[in-house]
Structure formats: C-alpha cells, structure tokens
Structure 1
C-alpha cells in the first residue's frame, strides 16, 4: 500500500473512532469529513459501514477471536461458549455501533459484510461445533442463530448504575444459555 493510502486509512480509522465515541451524527459522510478525505476514498478502504466499525474495534474483535482456543482448552464447551458470549454481550452493550455492525451479519449480508464479520463468525462457529460434538447444544445450531438471539441483550440495561437493569441482563443471559446448552 502506498504511503498516502496508508495515511488516509489511518486518518479514517482515527476519525471513525472519534466520531463513533460521540453522540450525534455517526454517518460515513461525517467520518470522511472529519478524516479530511472524500467519501470515495473512505469506501475504497472500507467498502461497508460494518467493515469500518469492525476495524475500529479491531483490537476487541481480535481478543474475542483469539480467546476461543484458550477457553476451549480450560473449560468445558458449554462454559467456554458462556464465557465468550458474555464478553461479546458486554462489548456490544457498551459499544452500540459495534453491536449494530455485528448484527449486520445476521441478515442477508453482502460478501463484503460477510468478510468483515468472518473472524467473529469463525470463532463462534468453533464454540458451537465444540458444543455440538459434546452433545451440549442442539445439532444444526449456527453462529448466526446465536447472534440473532444475543442481539436483544445488547439493548438491555445500558445504564450501568441501574442495579435492576443489570440483574435483568444477567437473568436474560442465563435464560439464553440454558436454552442454548440445556445439557451442558
């Protein structure tokens, strides 16, 4: 990659991180404006909103994806899935833009959207496969199925100081896990 292209990419990522952290207009147009690049330049580097958002939260995505082998080596599959989904739910709850980008993988994603989400889907698929092999999850359950089920938890209890909402979120997460892994 040429140095000017690399510089544009970094400016876009920095601008996106700043814009996504603030309330208000988080459009790609506002991100391009803040980065000092045209929308065409932004789209050359990040062909979809989801790919940009997942790059902004790349460190968190990497932590999630690289955690799977350690979780599976130290916990039974159902507890590994529980621990991993707990991290995903917390990240999505604290960063609504991330949750929205991940949710984009659950519909009929474009190829570009699918590529942006693939590391998360692969990590979750490994956990699902381990649970299926252990007989702790219903055969045929997919990573996308689970992401659809997790989505509503991202919107529960966004006020960290509200004890009742925190308890509701924990209760709903337990219901989800008992439904996913009733034998685990």
Structure 2
C-alpha cells in the first residue's frame, strides 16, 4: 500500500468514526436504547464498521460522552475566561457548561448509569478542571475569591456542585433556571465571593 493510499484510508476511517459519533450523540439523546444497527444506519455505515471503531456499546457510549465533553470545553473557551472580573468569567464558564449539558439531557442521564473507573473519570474532567482552576486562581490573585482554600479543593467542590445541579434537574426537582441560580449562589459562597449586582436597567 502506498503512502497516499494509507493516508486516504486513515482519512476515511476518521470520517466514518466522526459520522458514527455524530449519529450516536444525536440518536441516543432521543432514543437512549437505540441499537447499534440504528446508529450505524443513521451514520450511513455498516454495523461491522461501528464495531471496528467501538468494540462494545459501552465504548461507544463513552466516546459519545467524550464528544459532548469536547463541545462543553469549546463553549467554555469561547466564553472569554481570561477577560473581565474572575467572578463574571466563572459564571460564564458555569453557564457554558450547563447549556451544553442541557442540549443532551437524555444522553447524559443514560451515560451516568455507566460504571467508570476513577482514573478515567479524572481524565475526563481534567480539561474542565484546568479551566476552573485558571479562573479561580485569577480570582484569588485579584482578591475576588477567598485565598485561604486551595484552588484544587475549590475546583473539586465546584464540579461536585455542578453534578448536583444536574441531578436535581434530571430528577425533576428543579427547573434549569432555578438550578443555575442555585449553582451560581452556592459556588460564589464557597469561593467567598458575592454575586454581581443586576443592572436595574436590564442592560
């Protein structure tokens, strides 16, 4: 096989993998028990092609979660985390994450039932944790956040509170709006910050 043929084959494999993940995220968010055959059909590939990329349904679900996580991180990066007060940047980060999760409620609830080893869970949260840590450290340096607690501890607490907010929404005990407000208030209190006052003009 020539280098060009190898390159084409690799590109074809990447395209089919992306198509499978796109179909899986889309389909599983409406039909969480959709079969591999249904996902293959939605992706325009064969069942065998799906299994060539993802040997088990659990691996496909995990990859779908990684795709959603990548989307959330991209949304966070687009939120301008290094601009303006750290308090505002933190709230923008939380909202960006919540908006992404809100687009895939059924899929994320299904995936949450999977058993994940601690190392994998840590790696998946690492990009989010890195961005949270960056904003929190900036806030501590400017005096917006209490500097007596370690950034790592504050990151862990913030992620846990985010999961709690999502769980309340999934259980139907809180609306998305109420959960977001509760998350904002709780995180800012943990950080020793005060929520920004609303502009009475609404601007």
Q: Which residue number in structure 2 is paired with residue 90 of structure 1? A: 99
Take 1:78 and 1:56, find their aligned partners in 2: how far apart are those partners?
25
Structure 2 residue runs without a partner (length 5+) = 1-6, 195-203
- The two structures, once aligned, show a CA RMSD in angstroms of 3.9
Q: TM-score if structure 2 supplies the norm length? A: 0.63
- Is 1:168 matched with 2:190? no
Q: Tell whether the 8 Å contact from 1:53 to 1:101 is kept in structure 2 after alignment.
A: yes
Return closer, same or farther for 1:180/1:50 CA change in 2, 3 Å cut-off.
Answer: farther
- Answer with 173-182 or 143-152: which moved more: 173-182
Q: Tell whether the 8 Å contact from 2:20 to 2:50 is kept in structure 1 after alignment.
A: no
Take 2:41 and 2:182, find their aligned partners in 1: how far apart are those partners?
40
1:53 to 65, 87, 90: 65
- How many residues are paired up? 174
Q: Which residue number in structure 2 is paired with residue 179 of structure 1? A: 189
Take 2:60 and 2:154, find their aligned partners in 1: how far apart are those partners?
24
Q: Tell whether the 8 Å contact from 2:23 to 2:42 is kept in structure 1 after alignment.
A: yes
Q: Which residue number in structure 1 is paired with residue 26 of structure 2? A: 18
User: Rg: which structure is higher?
Assistant: 2
Q: TM-score if structure 1 supplies the norm length? A: 0.68
1:153 deviation in Å?
1.0
Q: Which residue number in structure 1 is paired with residue 164 of structure 2? A: 152
Higher relative contact order (CA 8 A, sep 6+): 1
